[in-house]
Amino acid sequence: MPRRILSLTLFFLAVAVLSTAQTVYMQDTPADTGVEPNPDTGPMWVSQDIWVRNSPDPGYQPYPFTESSPPWTLPAHQNPVYRDPLKSTPNYVYVEVRNHSQSASTGTERLRLYWAKASTGLSWPTQWVDYEPGGPRTLLYGAEITKPRKNGATASAAEQSAYANAIVAIGTNPAYVFPMGMDFWHTQQTVHGEMGSYSNIHETLAFLPWHREYVNRYELLLQQYDPTVKLLYWDWTTNPTSSLSFMGSLTGSVGTPFEPALSPPAVTRGVSGSPPAEPDSSVLARSPYGPFTSFCGNFGCFLPPSTAPFMSALEDYSHNLSHPYIGGTSGAMRSPATAAQDPFFFMLHGNVDRLWAQWQRNPSDLPRLDPMQTYGASLGSDTNLSVTMSPWDGSPGPPHRLQYLPDRALGDHYFRRHLRCRKTSHRSLGGLAADLRYRAAHHPGPAARPGSRNPDSVVSAESRQLCQLRLR
Ligand SMILES: [Cu+2]
């Protein structure tokens, strides 16, 4: 029934943010030449520059291509539908970015992509930006897919309190409970505590992809209470004691708003002095991804040489020092078994993931956006990168409560999961079936922000580039 199909599909709208000249854009319609505003008022669903998949397209590469020599063929149409975010089954959204000028883009442009539940009367922007037709704290019916995470220290007071409120809600409100009876918040604690003891998620190359999946799922759980909330992060080169006071006390008991609401277990912290992390610029200058090398031992951590692999330095220096910096001598953050009991854990790991995303978006090293190349030679030589991700993969794993997580039987691999956004090449722009509705547009907007998960990288002169994003 066409009507039913329509009700399940999504509309998409992309907004390309331009730098100096109008050289990078997406087509609203086939007649759109990049002139702003687009004089063509044709319907949004005839744009060729956005399309959606159930499964990622095989064979793509994250590199610009010329129109005359497309390197791959667009597979057959699929029928993506709205998915329950708790099932964690993504759709994949592709956006083509065009550059018809004589010069390359700067690599700092920002792509913004929006979705909305299908409707015949969608209006921009009210039904595309955090659209909740039933009122606040219901389901979203429209939002920006590319909405960046925010620095907790510079988020607005309203964003800070909304974030903390969502944490308390998913740990105390009986509406936010998994089928096995454990609330969302304490389930997340259990996942990290048990996986941290049994598996390969620390001190291996799998550290970054596993924790990316983990914090993404955590963010989804917060959004069940307040769908407009995004994960906030702590910039670990800054002292958190005053700027992040909405996260409770940084010394002694965390107190309000988390204690006693989320107890047991009780959580303490012990922040003192200056944060110990390496500057972002030094972390981001490192290459390649692996192999894993330890820089922390029984006698403390030593600053890795500038040639140290990226992920090793990130995990085994800045990350490993930041945990006890927050936890102090006896707080939850000191140990992998207890760290996720502290809501601050997710702000720290939001920063870990932000730095990885920034490293991947280095315009001078596009293969870092390619899931088959970002790990370099380590992908073929380190089995930690090719095994499935427990506890979400259906593998035996720890014989505990985790087996009741909702999508345990799905199965997926690190290399398929590790990117929120990839760019690739694309040949045909046609072939979209009539039940897939979307819209492309281009409007001025804010400049790229550090920490956002923007699909920004350089688009060569007179070329096209493609970005893939996951939409849950
Ligand atoms: Cu961990």
99 forms beta bridges with 24, 463
The residue segments making up the domain with residue 6 are 1-147
Q: How far apart are CA 93 and CA 75, in angstroms?
A: 14
Q: How far is the CA of 139 from the centre of ligand 1 (A)?
A: 30
The reply to whether 416 and 433 lie within a common domain is yes
Token pair, residue 303, equals 């600053």
Residue 59 has a CB neighbour count (10 Å cut-off) of 10
Q: Are residues 458 and 426 in the same domain?
A: yes
* Region of residue 300 (phi > 0: left; psi between -120 and 50: alpha; otherwise: beta): left
Q: Within this chain, do residues 75 and 208 fall inside the same structural domain, yes or no? A: no
The answer on 350 and 210 residing in a single domain is yes
pLDDT at 456 over 50: no
For the stretch 120-133, pLDDT in tens is 677 777 887 888 88
Q: From CA 80, how far away is CA 259, in angstroms rounded?
A: 42
Inside any domain, residue 191: yes
Is the same domain home to 104 and 170? no
Q: What is the pLDDT of residues 296-308, one digit of tens each?
A: 987 889 999 999 9
Stated length of the chain: 472
- Is 27 within 8 Å of 97 (Cβ atoms)? no
pLDDT digits (tens, 9 = 90+) for 213-257: 788 888 888 988 998 898 999 999 999 999 999 999 999 999 999
pTM score > 0.95 for this model?
no
What DSSP element (H or E) covers 117? strand 110-117
Tell me, yes or no, whether 141 and 177 share the same domain. Answer: no
DSSP class of residue 297 equals E
> How many angstroms is it from 200 CA to the middle of ligand 1?
10
Looking at 147, 163, 192, the residue that finishes a domain is: 147
Task: Strand 10-17: give its sheet, edge to edge.
Answer: 142-144, 110-117, 10-17, 439-442
Same domain, yes or no, for 306 and 167?
A: yes
- Are 181 and 236 within one domain? yes
Q: What is the pLDDT of residue 36?
A: 65
* Cα-to-centroid distance, 226 and ligand 1 (Å): 25
Four-point Cα dihedral 257, 241, 231, 451, nearest 10: 170
Confidence (pLDDT) at 286: 96
The domain total for the chain is 3
Q: What is the pairing mode between strands 24-25 and 91-99? A: antiparallel
What separation in Å is there between the alpha carbon of 336 and the centre of ligand 1?
6
State the number of CA atoms in the 13 A half-sphere of 285 facing the CB. 9
224 and 300 within one domain = yes
Distance 369 CA to ligand 1 centre (A): 23
Give a yes or no: residue 401 inside a domain: no
Q: Is the pLDDT of residue 402 over 70?
A: no
In this predicted model, which residue has the larger pLDDT, 447 or 111? 111
Whether residue 416 is found in the same domain as residue 316: no
230 or 167, higher pLDDT: 167
106 CA → ligand 1 middle, Å: 35
Per-residue pLDDT band at 394 (split at 50, 70, 90)? low
Kindly report, residue by residue over 315-369, the tens digit of the pLDDT.
999 999 999 999 999 999 999 889 999 999 999 999 998 898 888 878 788 778 7
Can you state the angle between helices 207-225 and 344-360, rounded to 10 degrees? 120
The pLDDT of residue 141 is 80
Establish if 393 belongs to a structural domain. no
Do 135 and 189 share a domain, yes or no? Answer: no
Lowest mean pLDDT of 54-58, 84-88, 216-220, 264-268, name the range: 84-88
Residue showing tokens 């070329």: 463
Same domain, 445 and 360: no
**CATH number reported for the structural domain that contains residue 289 in this entry:** 1.10.1280.10
Report if residue 331 sits inside a domain. yes
